[in-house]
Structure 1
């Protein structure tokens, strides 16, 4: 048995590698720079985690996704593997301590964002670490042609000068041929070994339907396929509205978006993962690190902004290799207004400059000041204060974040303070009567000795960790103690936080990144056009269209997408349809949808037949939209 397989079995409890994982791992172990293109669900993290465990030293992992870094570090720590992440908001002293741990504490993984490489003193410290592998996750971010370009990635190639014998492993799930070439050039690894897993998913049926009533069709699909499902929408309000509609129809559903508190995300996720609800309604904040094998259906109620994201989200269905469905629902209004709506929220240079200046004024940052300052931030409050359009402002802030000018925390939290309002004797009595709560209460008292005397800032995550329990249980106990008038509990919800990474220089700051803004806007326009072409093209296999976008040629149609199924269906003789409609209406009145369902003829044929029958005065349509025989 190979050492790599032993490591896989020991720590990840898998008996074999997935497709391409072993090849990529062997390439890295041979010391080769490597680019691996592995679609969603392909197990990219194993490709750097396993070889890093085999070799002496530390694996440096560069990732733009804070939540994913934290998740992977937690998973590694749960396996008994020493790993840390330098995420945003950590003080300089704490970073020094963490890097000391990496140098002297026998750690195996150090995760950091590419923006950290812009700090010269951090790079100097990294130079002295025993690095055995440098893994670049989401490597498409280094390319101007990628769908999420981040200029900070351009600094990564400097590491090659400091670690010439250490292999680079660049990983991405979605990259066109142009992006792949750019990754190799920008990382200065043009002679890298290249591994690409086919984008084809033989068990996944890509369906595109243009319908007036999207929700009605979604309901039919979900009833026909009662297994776990995900519905993707574009905003938070649509999440809650869609769940309400589903529940009114008898479905069990929950929702997930970036504005939920961590414990709510955990609760909602658990409901869906344990299949206590069938449907997860979510924005694109949901999906990172989600590995549920039996998802049967992915439904997009709104058009995605690019095919890269669509492919990743659709790819969360059918990972158990059984047939699954990726359904994109559109109506004529979506297609007609998509371009104008999309273009209207892309910030230009003038708007970007306006937002940056207003942001600095909002926090009273003077010219030449502001570096490393951190502020709590509420987007709606900011936009209302300066009368700015919300979506366009959000995109401007996201761009400033991608450029490394500011860092936006996407995590929402509650600032909690509490104080015991009964005597210590009464608290001891409570613990004796409630032994299941004793460990958490004792942990609170040990951690916060002054909690009897004043309102004390409280960290639920810290208490959960120290008491060896979950954050959910700690929060539930706090609520219980408050209801029993044992504590006074104050919780204030924080929105996003913003860190300024540079001094304020107004036009000079914005002029430096203008070319990136123009390139990004042009790319987004091209990407939206590709989405519209995917929806509107009705004479090509949908699988072929997707593969072609990613530079892969399919020799034959998939046989299971909406186009292929339509092609298989033999067109019915519509000449018999008017008589069938007459016979139905003799029994009772029906609407057009029910007539289509009962006759099983295409919608256009039914509408045409109904119009002819109306013109010939054979039937009438009533105020309630039901058709009836004319008497």
Structure 2
């Protein structure tokens, strides 16, 4: 049998493990239940992938993140390792085939969501598999005290009954002491060995700057650090706007958000990965499976919704060990805007019920039906039709997704429907005159037998695969058939798809999960308050604030964050500049850029002096982002 290090070298080309990867792997190989609390970027997947390849049988990986499951399966397949993911939208007959492959095809990894374990027939099939390890990713979801509780995770402990000798490996990047203890109980872990890696990222300088001109500040930072950078923004519109503004300033920039097609996402990401551009402006949809070690700067220009998400996104910088920067730019209006986006849009039980019932009506699902039905979904169209607020509706659907009532896939899709509008004998005649199109037409007719009678949704990728053609060729032939009046052909863009995982039961469904909604909303408010504390606290090291949030105590300041740097500034220098600023502000209100120009000091010196004056309550920032003396 190959050693763990040999497996690592063979497939991942690394010469050594990061701590505590090797300790976790040894614990699993000894058959012990194990808990790994490792910050983002710590290499959690290696902890179950390596031992699974060393043991006979198949590793069962339970994860709530469809995108992550798909990404890991694709990565394993590229390494010639046999892996399968049972994600939403897969039909029952296809799922049976996939599970047959797991049982008889010498597969090494089976990924599935916790909701799949609620299907008795899937559970029966899994019981017959030669499981060698059960890995639970995002294990904090099992605790109702965690920031992303999913009731379906509570069912995982049932696997202990069927696989009493198979070790459980629970992994998460974020868990307080309370959550950790709860996870151990809920999963039924037996005397688990706990491995906890420090949340400290000693090479990342956490910076918080209050500025009135965020674009100008970004320009200064990105010119000073011209290496790979990510700018995180709140929404798709900001992606386009900020990317465009930076391009105008001469920066090589692209963007990334959930509404892009798979091809656009891959193209834009590769431009950035391959160093053809410096900056990628992105929503939080960007980050899953990113493997780029030399990111120098992460800039957030809007407040994040939680310290967990901020730490995860900021942690994509400096994975090569070199000094990196995580910068959060704030302005006086940010709190109200974030409150509006994160807190005011939380759904209550009443609107959750309304949205669920209207969604069932929207897709014409009868009471007691709908399970495993998949539909293309355009959120804006749905909200416009029923007069629902978009963000509150999105949050409600996300909640239903997390409770396992439905599955929301936010991948851009293009729905194609066609219908042959000429008699079959005329179609045969057309094929005889256009032999290059015959294979595609025959494939369509065999795959969709009702295509003469009604508008039929087709899968262009499937037709391309069956007819041994490129997908672009299929679309080209469909356009030609439409122009020749052979078919009626429609394309409709959708920004998501929804799969219903339970039968429709209206209030009964919502009543069952409403208690979790109340807890979730309280948790969201508490998370947001922690973000405000991180931003507003001016007398504590920023790294120390983050570590304290995750329950990690330290008496040592990091020495490189915005607070620590401000302490290093010579008091007499700051006092001198501050006095200059006070004299200037006696005559008029000014922006920081105007103050810098008049004082002829460096930007950093001016910012620190302004911050000092703000802390001492000698000046204030007006709504127009200009500084004024307090009278």
What is the deviation of 1:231? Answer: 0.5
Matches within 5 A, 1:319-330: 319-330=319-330
Q: 1:466 to 1:70 in 2, by over 3 A?
A: farther
2:111 maps to 111
Q: 1:89 matched to which residue of 2?
A: 89
- Give the aligned length: 585
Give 1:145's aligned residue. Answer: 145
Instruction: Give yes or no for contact 1:140–1:172 (8 Å, CA) kept in 2.
Output: yes
Judged with a 3 Å threshold, the aligned counterparts in structure 2 of structure 1 residues 231 and 446 are, in CA distance, closer, same or farther, namely farther
Q: Give me the whole-angstrom Cα distance separating, in 2, the residues matched to 1:296 and 1:457.
A: 44
Q: CA deviation at 1:503?
A: 2.1
Q: After the TM superposition, which residues 453-472 of structure 1 pair with which residues of structure 2 at under 5 Å, given as runs?
A: 457=458, 459-460=460-461, 463=464
Structure 1 position 208 matched with structure 2 position 208: yes
Q: CA deviation at 1:367?
A: 2.4
Gaps of 5+ in 2: 421-426, 586-592, 614-625, 627-631
Match for residue 277 of structure 2?
A: 277
Looking at structure 1, the residues matched to 123 and 612 of structure 2 have their Cα atoms a distance apart, in angstroms, of 70
Q: 1:597 to 1:62 in 2, by over 3 A?
A: farther
Distance 1:598-1:27 versus aligned 2 partners, 3 A rule:
same
Match in the other structure for 1:232: 232
- Could you tell me how far apart the structure 2 residues matched to 1:599 and 1:176 are? 41
Report whether the alignment pairs 1:304 with 2:307: no
The change in CA–CA distance for 1:401 and 1:568 in structure 2 (over 3 A counts) is same
CA distance change for structure 1 residues 207 and 424 in 2, over 3 Å: closer, same or farther? farther
d(CA) in 2 for partners of 1:579, 1:93: 75
2:597 matches 1:594? yes
Question: How far does the alpha carbon of each residue in 1:263-300 deviate from its partner, in whole angstroms, 9 at most, with x for none?
Answer: 11111111111111111111111101101011000001
Distance 1:256 1:75 in 2: 21
CA spacing shift, 1:249–1:352, aligned 2, 3 Å: same
Spell out the pairing of 1:33-44 with structure 2 (5 A cutoff): 33-44=33-44
| CA shift digits 1:95-136 (9 cap, x unpaired) | 111111111111111111111001011101111111010000
C-alpha root-mean-square deviation of aligned residues, in Å?
3.3
Superposition map of 1:130-529 within 5 A: 130-189=130-189, 191-339=191-339, 341-416=341-416, 457=458, 459-460=460-461, 463=464, 474=470, 491-529=491-529
- Aligned-residue offset at 1:356: 1.1
In the alignment, what sits opposite 2:565?
Answer: 565
CA-to-partner distance for each residue in 1:467-523, whole Å, 9 max, x for gaps?
A: 79xxxxx46667888999999896432331212222222221111111101111111
Q: Which residue of 1 aligns with 2:424?
A: none
CA pair 608-43 structure 1, distance change in 2 beyond 3 A? closer
Q: Tell me the distance in 1 between the aligned counterparts of 2:565 and 2:257.
A: 34
CA contact (8 A) 2:38 2:173 kept: yes
Q: Secondary structure at the match of 2:161?
A: helix
SS in 1 for 2:333: helix
Partner SS for 1:170 = strand
Q: Is residue 2:542 matched to residue 1:542? A: yes
Counterpart contact for 1:65–1:113, Cα < 8 Å: yes
Compared CA separation, residues 302 and 110, structure 1 to 2 (3 A):
same
Q: In the alignment, which residue of structure 2 is the partner of 1:22?
A: 22
The question of whether the paired residues in 2 share the 8 Å contact of 1:39 and 1:199 is answered with: yes
1:31-75 alpha-carbon deviations (Å, 9 max, x no partner): 000010111111111111111111111100111111111111111
Distance 1:252 1:422 in 2: 50
User: Post-superposition shift, 1:592?
Assistant: 3.3
Q: Taking structure 1 as reference, are residues 121 and 245 closer, same or farther at Cα in structure 2, changes over 3 Å only?
A: same
Q: Does 1:66 align with 2:66?
A: yes
Q: 1:567 to 1:103 in 2, by over 3 A?
A: same
Q: Answer with 326-335 or 8-17: which moved more.
A: 8-17
- Conserved in 2, the CA contact under 8 Å of 1:422 and 1:486? no
Q: Distance in 1 between matches of 2:498 and 2:290?
A: 27
Closer, same or farther: CA 58–271 of 1 in aligned 2, 3 Å: same
Q: CA, structure 1 residues 320+378, in 2 after alignment: closer, same or farther (shift >3 Å)?
A: same
Q: Which residue in 2 is equivalent to 1:9?
A: 9
Moved more, 163-172 or 368-377: 368-377
Q: 1:27 to 1:605 in 2, by over 3 A?
A: closer
**1:80–1:445 CA distance, 2 compared to 1 (3 A):** farther
Deviation per CA, 1:323-354, whole angstroms, max 9, x where unpaired?
Answer: 00000111111124533553210111111111
- Asked whether the 8 Å contact 1:422–1:487 carries over to 2, the reply is no
Equivalents in 1 of 2:479, 2:399: separation in Å?
45
Unaligned runs of 5+ in 1: 429-440, 469-473, 583-589, 610-624, 626-631
User: CA-to-partner distance for each residue in 1:154-192, whole Å, 9 max, x for gaps?
Assistant: 100000111010000011111122211111111011520
Q: Counterpart of 1:471?
A: none
The SS at the match of 1:528 is helix
Distance 1:608 1:185 in 2: 48
TM-score (norm 2): 0.85
Aligned to 1:613: none
In structure 1, the residue matched to 2:31 is: 31
Q: Answer whether contact 2:460 2:475 (CA < 8 A) is retained.
A: no
Displacement of 1:255: 1.0
User: What does the per-residue CA deviation read over 1:63-99, in whole Å, with 9 as the maximum and x for residues that have no partner?
Assistant: 1111111111111111111111111111111111111
1:622 maps to: none
Q: 1:619 corresponds to which residue?
A: none
Please state whether the residue corresponding to 1:311 is helix, strand or coil: helix
Aligned equivalents of 2:238, 2:118: Cα separation in 1: 38
1:577 aligns with 2:580: yes
C-alpha distance in 2 between matches for 1:142 and 1:69: 18
Is the alpha carbon distance of 1:305 and 1:132 closer, same or farther for their aligned partners in structure 2, counting shifts above 3 Å? Answer: same
Secondary structure of 1:80's counterpart equals coil
CA distance in 1, matches of 2:129, 2:179: 31
479 and 130 in structure 1: CA distance in 2 versus 1, 3 angstrom threshold: closer
Partner residue in 2 for 1:618: none
Q: Deviations over 1:438-485 (max 9, x none)?
A: xxx99969966989x9999453477479979xxxxx466678889999
Query: How has the CA–CA distance of structure 1 residues 310 and 464 changed in structure 2, closer, same or farther, with 3 Å as cutoff?
Result: farther
Q: Work out whether residues 596 and 606 of structure 1, in 8 Å CA contact, stay in contact via their aligned partners in 2.
A: no
